[in-house]
Structure 1
Amino acid sequence: MDVRFSSRASTQTLFAQVYEYIWTRIQRGEWKEHEKLPSVRLLAAELNVHRLTVFKAYQLLKEEKKVYVKDKSGYYVHPGGAMPLDNLDSPIVSSYVQKSHLSEIHKVPVTYQFSYALIDPNLLPNRFFSEYVKEIFDLYPKVLSSYSTVQGDEELREALCRYFMDMHRFHLSPEDIMITSGSQQALDLLARMLVQPRDAVLIERPTYSAAIDIFRQLGAQLIPVEIHPNGYDLDQVEAYMKRYKPRLFYLNPTYHNPTGYTVPAEQRKQLVELAERYRCFVIEDDPFRDMYFESEPPPPLFSYSVEGYVVYIRSFSKYVAPGLRIAAVCLHPSLVSHFFTVKSLADNGSPLLNQKIFLHYFSSSRMQQHIEKLRTALNVRKTIMEEELSATAWRWNSPAGGLNLWVKLPESLSMEALLAKSIEQSISFVPGSICDPLKETKSWLRLSYSYISEKQLREGTKLLISMASELAGTVE
């Protein structure tokens, strides 16, 4: 039997996973309106859980009017899918409660933007780029008349190959690199390439919310792996690999999104060894590597890869020019042709102009000067937010790099109420449950300190704290 859910997990965790499994398949349209759902007995056997766990999930779906019951016949899909929540007028809060989609939060214009894990445009070399683009047209007069190859511009791949070999001692050639339109496209394509419906996928808890959506859309069964300030419980990781035989483990080990944690070097090597032993692919997402504040982070897992089970995604978009949408994917030669196929179906190649602009800026001394100044600016912003938060009883681990703080609030404080009140005051943040595959992380939130000015950062943090205090007083 293809075991999906761990019998060692808590009843609440199993219940949440079964609920999410049923609801996700309904949302994807795999089970249509008025279609009969699998019986409690069949679904319990399929998922290797107790029948009572499945029954409880069905009962909650029935209460939420997502399914209905026919006497002596079973459960059926309710027409209309998710029902609106009458007491939540804000679409952003409704989305948070019902879907947990980060994109809905980003749609709302606010003054104090703590939900964007992006860098303040004023910190990027905008004027330099505007002048620099003219040089690109002189160097490549036909750049707008040409498509890039599907694999990516050869000149750029050669430059990145030299960079990875010099900086991280990667063993690869330019032919082992694919250029994508940002890291999210890379992850989406890799997931399509590697994952089939009902494949087990290990994923950090919490994690990058888009990754949750990507794997769920493909019908994968998500197996959460807790990430801590000192990394993972490797005994747990090995037990999961042995038990579930997962297709892949998606991780973001350097200045992790959303927690800011960094997995230590010794664990990275051990993770690669486990992946090779159990034939589990590792997708290493590394968008924040250059955003360290003091010392450089440990080498990527890809540096330890021998048998080709590690796939490395390196995005440069956030701190160079987000509009260029440039990421590199490093793969074992045996995977390149498969990735080539899914990439060609997606867009037949990322824009050549973007790649040429990035290539010449990436190779310049101006780039290193920019990165050094950016590190200083981000560290100052992190310090400002931490100074303001220090007046509270909230908890967080100060990250050594990256763009986010992962903050624990009192459990008595309603995250839905805080989110709704924050939007009224033109503040946005990311509720922790959006980053949780089980949607149970209710008292955590992610605050990004990188997108707004130092003045706005201080004002917005003070205002957020004040609103939380008011709500806490109301609760008490």
Structure 2
Amino acid sequence: MKHAKSSGGTKANLLFRQAYEYIVTRMDRGEWQAHDKLPSIRLLAQELQVHRLTVFRAYQLLKQNERAYVKEKSGYYVSPCKSEEQALNEHEESPRSLTASSVLKNALSEIQQIPVKYQFSQALIDPNLLPNLFLSEHVKQVFDIYPKLMGTYSSAQGDEELREYLCRYMVRHHHLRLTVSDILITTGGQQAIDLISRIYIRPMDPVLVERPTYSAALDIFRQQGARLVPVEITPNGYDLAAVEKLMQKHKPRIFYMNPTFHNPTGYTVPAAQRKLLVELAERYRCLLIEDDAIHEMYLDQPPPQPMLTYDTEGWVVYLRSFSKYVAPGLRICAVMGGPSVIKPLITAKSLADNGTPLVNQKMFLHYFESARIQQHLEKLRIALQIRKEIVEEELASTGWHWISPQGGFNLWLRLPDFIPVDRLLEECLRHSVSFVPGVICDPLKEMQSWIRLSYSFVNEEHLRDGVRRLVDIAGRYGPQPQ
């Protein structure tokens, strides 16, 4: 009992310090200036969805650090004096350092690290579908071209030759207004999300996220102390009127989205909505983080143009990954955006690792631009179509619900309510079958009956056997008697 009390106290302590930092951040951004009246304790508690005592403790700390003062029977006001840095230097405990002490978590990675025969939790291409012999031959050619390749670093922004190629590629395919200086190379899309979150998110900052969405992104935002504001995504995209209301109410710093062959649902947001979303972002000064990891993996028609196509004011950051279907081990992502975004990201990248390995970048450049790999993409699409159809065929008699995606690697399945997904996952793992429980993709953690099943990583024979095994295990859970 004592341990539980201590845990609750730790959480409350963390919350009031996050509330403190949220207020200080808004002061530092100039949203609340000297002698402005701060919101009442009741109103701020409602906005942050915390107890009023939490806000009271945050205001008391502001007063203690001389960031706020009190007017009798009027409330709290912004002090015109010290900066946050000065205030922290005078106290041993930094609220920011304490909020960073929460436990790191990546729920998706924990599932994927469990060795199983039927790996349905990995949204990656089956290595046997990649032209591995061609890649190995290609490596030798790259070292012949750059004999000193292993003897130097890349720049923090990324290899200029690679950025020049990607700039030409994006302009040719998407008619973007893009220059080489508008591109940063990161070690995979997840690093890009992490760097962006470190720059733009402070504790209690509201962040719009799709519901459901990529679970690792949710864990990254939670680690920064963000308040996650869900936006429902459907087969027809978003309710833009609802999105506008959320932007009006919460004034979010960013909206993280995955509008093309969405992870985990497979939905694709239509072109008309993309243009309107960029207009909303400009109007409400909300940065759109467009995560596009599998753009070329369409099964029928190519997807709509990226939102970056419609951006003229610098409110879209476009994350274009290539590694998942070209060479996953190279971990290459191109981050594209205006100078106001790319410049701080270069600094953050230099602090993180001083640049993605140059070897990886040169290998990717000469591999991706080859005629062989471009022809191979068409073969990959056919292979994915076959694998998706195998899974749908095996699931046809279950009564489970899903909408067949037009691209990507995943099926988003709704199971009957009487099947406990948490227990199902435990039992499946014991039988060497993995999948992603939908609850970890839900910012509200309520989607208990959904699962993500990735059909891209397992070969056709194992795919059929593994899905049958999953269906058989799920069949052991019957509806509860009335």
Cα separation, partners in 2 of 1:24 and 1:315, compared to 1, 3 Å: farther
Corresponding residue number in structure 2 for 1:379: 385
TM-score normalized by the length of structure 2: 0.80
Radius of gyration: which is bigger? 2
Cα separation, partners in 2 of 1:475 and 1:460, compared to 1, 3 Å: farther
Check conservation: 1:43, 1:54, Cα contact below 8 A: no
Alpha-carbon distance in 1 for matches of 2:48, 2:331: 46
Matched, 1:343 2:328: no
Corresponding residue number in structure 1 for 2:338: 332
CA drift at 1:26: 3.3
Cα separation, partners in 2 of 1:209 and 1:380, compared to 1, 3 Å: same
CA RMSD of aligned residues (A): 2.5
SS at match of 2:372: helix
CA drift at 1:452: 0.5
Match of 2:398 among 392, 398, 401: 392
Check conservation: 2:186, 2:192, Cα contact below 8 A: yes
Alpha-carbon distance in 1 for matches of 2:232, 2:157: 35
Cα separation, partners in 2 of 1:159 and 1:99, compared to 1, 3 Å: closer
Could you tell me which amino acid in structure 2 is paired with residue 173 of structure 1? T
Corresponding residue number in structure 2 for 1:48: 46
Cα separation, partners in 2 of 1:49 and 1:266, compared to 1, 3 Å: closer
Corresponding residue number in structure 2 for 1:166: 172
Check conservation: 1:413, 1:475, Cα contact below 8 A: no
Check conservation: 1:433, 1:439, Cα contact below 8 A: yes
Match of 2:11 among 5, 20, 26: 26
CA drift at 1:29: 6.2
Match of 1:149 among 155, 175, 178: 155
CA drift at 1:193: 1.4
> What are the residue-to-residue correspondences of 1:237-256 with 2, within 5 Å?
237-256=243-262
Check conservation: 1:429, 1:445, Cα contact below 8 A: yes
TM-score normalized by the length of structure 1: 0.81
SS at match of 2:373: helix
Alpha-carbon distance in 1 for matches of 2:432, 2:206: 40
CA drift at 1:275: 0.3
Deviations 1:52-101 (A, max 9, x none): x959xxxxxxxxxxxxxxxxxxxxxxxxxxxxxxxxxxxxxxx9xx9781
Alpha-carbon distance in 2 for matches of 1:99, 1:43: 32
Cα separation, partners in 2 of 1:31 and 1:369, compared to 1, 3 Å: same
Could you tell me which amino acid in structure 2 is paired with residue 232 of structure 1? Y
SS at match of 1:318: helix
Match of 1:180 among 175, 186, 207: 186
Alpha-carbon distance in 2 for matches of 1:461, 1:306: 46
Check conservation: 1:293, 1:376, Cα contact below 8 A: yes
Corresponding residue number in structure 2 for 1:190: 196
Deviations 1:377-434 (A, max 9, x none): 0110000000011111000000000000000000111111211111111100000001
Corresponding residue number in structure 2 for 1:284: 290
Match of 2:140 among 134, 141, 147: 134
Match of 1:413 among 400, 419, 427: 419
Deviations 1:180-206 (A, max 9, x none): 000000111111111122111100000
Deviations 1:311-331 (A, max 9, x none): 000001100111100000001
Matched, 1:446 2:452: yes
Count of aligned residue pairs for this structure pair: 405
Cα separation, partners in 2 of 1:475 and 1:437, compared to 1, 3 Å: farther
Check conservation: 2:106, 2:219, Cα contact below 8 A: no
CA drift at 1:466: 1.0
Deviations 1:104-126 (A, max 9, x none): 11121111111111111101121
Deviations 1:337-382 (A, max 9, x none): 2111101100111000100000011111011111111010011000
Check conservation: 1:44, 1:50, Cα contact below 8 A: no
Could you tell me which amino acid in structure 2 is paired with residue 141 of structure 1? P
Q: Which runs of 5+ in 1 are unaligned?
A: 1-21, 33-41, 56-94
Check conservation: 2:323, 2:330, Cα contact below 8 A: yes
SS at match of 1:197: coil
- List structure 1 segments (4+ residues) > 4 angstroms apart after TM superposition: 22-25, 27-32, 42-45, 473-476
Check conservation: 2:158, 2:356, Cα contact below 8 A: yes
Identity, in percent, stands at 57
Alpha-carbon distance in 2 for matches of 1:43, 1:102: 37
Alpha-carbon distance in 2 for matches of 1:23, 1:300: 44
Alpha-carbon distance in 1 for matches of 2:456, 2:9: 33
Could you tell me which amino acid in structure 1 is paired with residue 460 of structure 2? E
Check conservation: 2:418, 2:477, Cα contact below 8 A: no
Alpha-carbon distance in 2 for matches of 1:111, 1:243: 47
Corresponding residue number in structure 2 for 1:10: none
Corresponding residue number in structure 2 for 1:111: 117
